[in-house]
Amino acid sequence: MKIMVVGGGGREHAIIKKIKENPAVEQIFAVPGNGGMANDATLVPIGAKDIDAIVEFAVNTGIDYAVVAPDDPLVLGAVDALQEKGIPCFGPEAKAAIIEGSKVFSKNLMKKYGIPTAAYEVFNDMQAALTYLETAPIPTVIKADGLALGKGVIIAMTRDEAKDAVRSMMQDKVFGKSGDNVVIEEFLTGPEVSVLSFTDGETVVPMISSMDHKRAGDNDTGLNTGGMGTVAPNPYYTDAIAERCMKEIFLPTIRAMKAEGRTFKGCLYFGLMLTENGPKVIEYNCRFGDPETQVVLPLLESDLLTVMQATTNGTLADTEVKFKNEHACCVIMASAGYPTAYEKGYAITIPAAIADQVYVAGAKLSDGKLLSDGGRVLGATAIGDSLEQAIAASYDLVKQIHFDNQYYRTDIGARAMQAKREA
């Protein structure tokens, strides 16, 4: 089989490595991929948002199955366009990807179907939003409606901050059209859990839970990033909470999307907050998370391609999805300065013996040498019998990888360890 994976980050590298385990796979094309994946896939220099070119490449190459991993091409209809040419895909059609593409849509969906989430108001008029903020409870959360490279959420600790956020989105258009509408919502507190799930639109199978570390600095200080590391499973996510989430959130969401004529197939990511009043949805993503995928897929015992095809074919109920009873930790090695300005172009050395455990995100090949080429450069994932062992082993990997100007958090998994001690 010839497989195409659209996207170019660490998440895509983890997907590619896992798909490769299937003996029927002859060749994997990464579109565009990155230089760090060259040993695992054939790199195709087409941008992940260039849907016409992607479809043309897939047709000409005789792609048997396509995986569209990032949010942008999904929301732009990459799956629809590939399916039209008869190419089966993993991922939702545009009309279902809207669950991530529009926060107004997802909030209204949750309200209509009684799915627990933060209370909210929607505004398309800036003056009305500013007036509302005069008396709204503080802290409050301001969210741009559309995709905003993961930056469209502002937690405002003061009324002025909240108003500034509204002005920057609705007047200065810092996120373009994504800020035409804003959601202003209740500030929730509690541990956060990421639950990725496989779904064929009828059946939903949650993957092992995980915990992201979004802030740039140790002890959750500094700016928000795309994610500086992950652990799985998430110790806050007990069996009792999982059962409750299935009943109150996962199944109701899948059924709601079907009832709306927007059947969701692929990976639906539930960003949850475990509040005093039970689990609530913070956000939906229409795709695998990054860097959640880099801890979840290494723990998947079943064959990934088989499970993906089952979501496409509607046979997930008859397909085994099994996870190892182990722990995983992924530490992201970034360029110092990320998520703002940073230097790149430094040679990366990864010992061959550990290359299987490294997922490359921001790197390029130049004269056969791998050079750092982004904010998040790579992630190193280790598996262990305990969380403690997984953490120690992943930092052991990090110490064997070198590039100049490198930076990583030293406390990935520390909060999870503390949660375990308190349990």
For the CB of residue 14, give the shortest distance to ligand AMP in the complex, in Å: 19
- The amino acid sitting at 126 is M
Residues of this chain, 219-258, that bind ligand GLY according to CB under 6 A? 227
For the CB of residue 192, give the shortest distance to ligand AMP in the complex, in Å: 6
What burial letters (b/e) apply to 1-33, b meaning 16+ CB within 10 Å? bbbbbbbbbbbbbbbbbbbbeeeebeebbbbbb
**Residues 6+ positions from 163 with CB-CB distance below 8 Å:** 130, 133
Choice from 141, 142, 267, 361 touching ligand AMP (CB under 6 A): 141
The piece of 2-10, 183-191, 302-310, 397-405 that touches ligand AMP (CB under 6 A) is 183-191
Distances (CA, A) of 175 to 147, 148, 226, 298, 337: 8, 6, 17, 34, 22
289 binds, among ligand GLY, ligand AMP, none (CB under 5 to 8 A by kind): ligand GLY
- Is 224 in contact with 214 (CB distance < 8 Å)? yes
420 binds, among ligand GLY, ligand AMP, none (CB under 5 to 8 A by kind): none
Distance CA 69, CA 72 (A): 9
Residue closer to ligand GLY, measured from CB, 230 or 309: 230
Give residue for tokens 């040419």.
Answer: 85
Phi (first) and psi of residue 173, to 5 degrees: 55, 45
Q: Which residues pair with 281 in a beta bridge?
A: 117, 272
The piece of 88-96, 147-155, 311-319, 402-410 that touches ligand AMP (CB under 6 A) is 147-155
For the CB of residue 117, give the shortest distance to ligand AMP in the complex, in Å: 8
Q: Does 152 bind ligand GLY (CB under 6 A)?
A: no
Phi (first) and psi of residue 286, to 5 degrees: -90, 30
Distances (CA, A) of 244 to 69, 210, 422: 28, 17, 22
Q: Does 192 bind ligand AMP (CB under 6 A)?
A: yes
Residue closer to ligand AMP, measured from CB, 99 or 316: 99
Q: Does 155 bind ligand AMP (CB under 6 A)?
A: yes
Per-residue contact flags (x/-) with ligand GLY for residues 256 to 285, judged by CB under 6 A: -----------------------------x
Distance CA 107, CA 67 (A): 27
Residue closer to ligand AMP, measured from CB, 153 or 417: 153
Residues forming the site for ligand GLY (CB under 6 A): 150, 212, 227, 285, 289-290, 292
Give residues in contact with ligand AMP (CB under 6 A): 118, 141, 150, 153, 155, 185-188, 192, 214, 271, 282-283
